[in-house]
Every structure is written in C-alpha cells, then in structure tokens.
Amino acid sequence: MKPALPFLLVLASSATALAELPKNIPPAIPLWPAGAPGSEARAKEPEKMEGDNCVNVHNPTITPYVPDRDKATGTAVIICPGGGHSKLCLGHEGYALAEWFRDRGIAAFVLKYRLSKEPGSTYTLEDHAMADTRRAIRLIRSRASEWRILPDRVGILGFSAGGELAAYSAMKSDAGQKEAADEIERQSSRPDFQALIYPGKSATMTAEPGMPPVFLAAGYSDRPDISEGMATLYLKYKAAKVPAELHLYANAGHGFGYRPNAKPSAAARWPERFMEWLIDSGLLKVRDVK
C-alpha cells in the first residue's frame, strides 16, 4: 500500500500541469511574413498541441494581448514560455499570464520560438531561438503606436528555458540596421527591462554595466544550479551596478509559473511583486494602473 501516496501525488501533479488553456486566444502574428530564416520550407507546417504544450514550431509567432485604449499604460512585455527547449508550456507560462497583464493595462505578447531540443530538431538556441526572440522585440517596437506602447517600455519575461532567451536578449543586443529595407529590422533588439523566472543556466549568465534592469524570481527548492545560481546572478548584476531585485520563495520549487486558480502563496503572487517593481523602476506609472 505504500506506493499509493506517491502515485496519487503524480496524478495530482499531472492534472495541474495539464491545466486548461484560456479561451478566446487572439490570433498569432508571424514574426517573418515569408517564413523565418532557415525555416522557410516548413513555414506552413502546422504546430501540434500536446495538452497545454506546443511543439513543432517552424513559423515563430507572437500572440498579442493588448489592453483597451482606456486601460493602456504604454508598457509592454514579451512572455517566453519554458519547456526545456523541447516544448512550449503555454498554459501556466504563457496565455494565462498574458491575460493577467492585459487586464492591468500592460500589453503582453506570448512568443512561440523554434525549439532546439525537440527530437529531430535542426535548430539551435543561439541561431534560431534567439533570432526569434530579437525579432519579436523589433516587431513590437515597429508597431508601438498601433498597440499604444511606448518604445522605451518594451521588456521581456521568460520562464525556465524561456528565461534563458530573455537573459541572452539583454546580454547581447543591437540598435538595429537603420538602412534596412525591412522596417522591423531598423528597430533596436534591446529590451528595456527583463524578468527572469527560474531561468535555466542562471549560474553561467553574465552581467555588464548598462544592461537593462532585472527582476529575478525562483523557488528555494529548485535545482541548486537555478536556486543558488539566481543568488549568484543577482550578485553579478549588483557588481555591474545593474538595478536588480531578487525573490527566492521558501516554499516553491521549479515551474510554479502563473495559474489564476492557484492556492494562495507568496510564490503565486509573484506577478504582483513584478508590477510593484515596474512602478518602483519607473517603467510603469502609478497613475497608469487602473
């Protein structure tokens, strides 16, 4: 009879992981109308959903959650779901959080990027997933007026593997190609702020003066390379004089993400702390929040 409890815990965990996706998901916008560089031949190949996880991404997109005009604050955030670069966890690390931001006046865009560790993948994190991430930042800036966004308040937030993309976009960016025929490529790929939520490879990330301010959050019970790595990363940002705020939640592990119906806890309320950080950092005006 002893195995019964662990078995029930596994079932409960699986039920939570396969939470229903929100309804009325907005249409996605391709990052490249003619197909992503290196994936043009597969651009029309359909994505696949496995529960609330997305795989087989060959035509990277952003899904926009744009607040109504009377609620818009001018601040925008790109959300990079996690999934170990083999899938995209669109439920608790994607659409639900985008709805939460939109309802509070922040424009949110869920990024579907190419997966470098999906079985049979020919993509790499550096050449494909990061190209998708930087293109998303440029695309949003190019349509800032349409979406009532301030071009200097475009940030990025990533969970786990998506946190790697968010961090790397802040570590290496460019001002855009001012003579490019493609208007999108003329835009800067530098995020104005970054939020890294239990990112992978946190212990190996670097910080340099002038990088965007950063909000860091993870669980105390996460893998040591993440929980301890986040503390190390915070100190790197502090040494580089990059404004940083760190939250290590004592009763959380990996993958807490955001769930509207989560049991009340400190970790479940991290988006509220993030909003406070935006206000403290001058990236969201108090009068803007309705």
Per the CB < 8 A criterion, the answer to whether 195 and 166 are in contact is yes
User: Residue 190 has which token pair?
Assistant: 């530098």
> What proportions of the chain, in percent to the nearest 5, are helix, strand and coil?
35, 15, 50
Q: What is the strand order of the sheet 107-112 is part of?
A: 29-30, 61-65, 107-112, 76-80, 154-159, 194-197, 214-219, 244-249
CATH of 29-288, one of 3.40.50.1860, 2.70.98.10, 3.40.50.300, 3.40.50.1820: 3.40.50.1820
Which residues on adjacent β-strands are paired with residue 110? 63, 79
Residue 7's pLDDT band, with cuts at 50, 70 and 90, is very low
- pTM for this predicted structure: 0.92
pLDDT tens per residue, range 62-73: 999 999 999 999
pLDDT at 137 over 60: yes
Contacts of residue 1, defined as CB under 8 A and 6 or more positions apart, other chains included, come to none
Quote the pLDDT of residue 22.
82
pLDDT tens per residue, range 35-66: 999 999 999 999 999 999 999 999 999 999 99
Rounded average pLDDT over 22-28? 92
Rounded average pLDDT over 222-248? 97
